[in-house]
Amino acid sequence: MGTNPYSGGPGTNSYRVGGRKKELDLRQEMSDLLFGSAGEVPKGRVGLLRRMRKDANGDLIKCPCRSKITDEPDKDYYCRYCLGHGYFWDETKIVYYRNDDSFRKEKSDNPNYRGQEFEADDFFLQHHEVITPDDFIIVVKLDVDGSIAQPLQREDIFRIWSADKFRADNARVEFWRVRAERERKWSVWYGLKTR
């Protein structure tokens, strides 16, 4: 029989709020979910967070492949610097839990797409990540042990529509919930060309 996590006894994931009451430590629970613990199997998946680079004003840094006429990225010839996004970016390794919720349509919180309905998945990440709606989550191919397969192969790209920080009663950030939509693969629609 397991212990009551709300009891605040030894071995529980709780912390004091205001020196009186103990709360369930959702940061620790998220860590146990992603990485496992003595009584829990890890459920996290390794992937990449593609963070868009920004200048000193907070604007995205454009790639030179963007058309001087339409200001759109070059989709015909896959740019080796931005991979068709039109902006420079950096990728970092993350661990996330993904809930496929694509059957449910929601409206975007992203100011660039406000009011548009989309089908999206939920991604749950630890509190210390820095995520914006300009970023992307990259699903990578994994080997039989769950590590990133070498050489690195990107399987899916998810455009982030909303990134929500979930806070406890004392306003401490506990975890992120990210709603993201799978981007279509351009090579499906027509042959992919490279320069």
Alpha-carbon distance 4 to 64, whole Å? 57
Predicted TM-score (pTM) of the model is 0.74
Contact yes or no for 48/138 (Cβ under 8 A):
yes
pLDDT number for residue 123:
93
Handedness of CA 117, 118, 124, 125 (dihedral sign): negative
Helix ranges (DSSP H) in 1-149: 26-35
Q: Tens-of-pLDDT digits for all 195 residues of the chain?
A: 444 343 444 455 665 655 656 677 888 989 998 988 888 888 999 999 999 999 999 999 999 988 888 888 877 777 888 888 889 999 999 999 998 665 555 555 555 555 666 678 899 999 999 899 899 999 999 998 888 899 989 899 999 988 999 888 778 889 999 999 888 765 544 444 444
pLDDT number for residue 195:
42
Q: How far from the centroid of its chain's Cα atoms is residue 79's Cα?
A: 23
pLDDT number for residue 80:
84
Alpha-carbon distance 127 to 148, whole Å? 23
**Tokens linked to 75:** 């989709």
**Tokens linked to 134:** 């300009």
Where would I find the beta strands (DSSP E) of 53-169? Answer: 89-99, 105-107, 117-119, 121-126, 136-140, 154-167
The secondary structure of 134-146 as a DSSP string is T-EEEEE-B-TTS
Handedness of CA 81, 85, 90, 92 (dihedral sign): negative
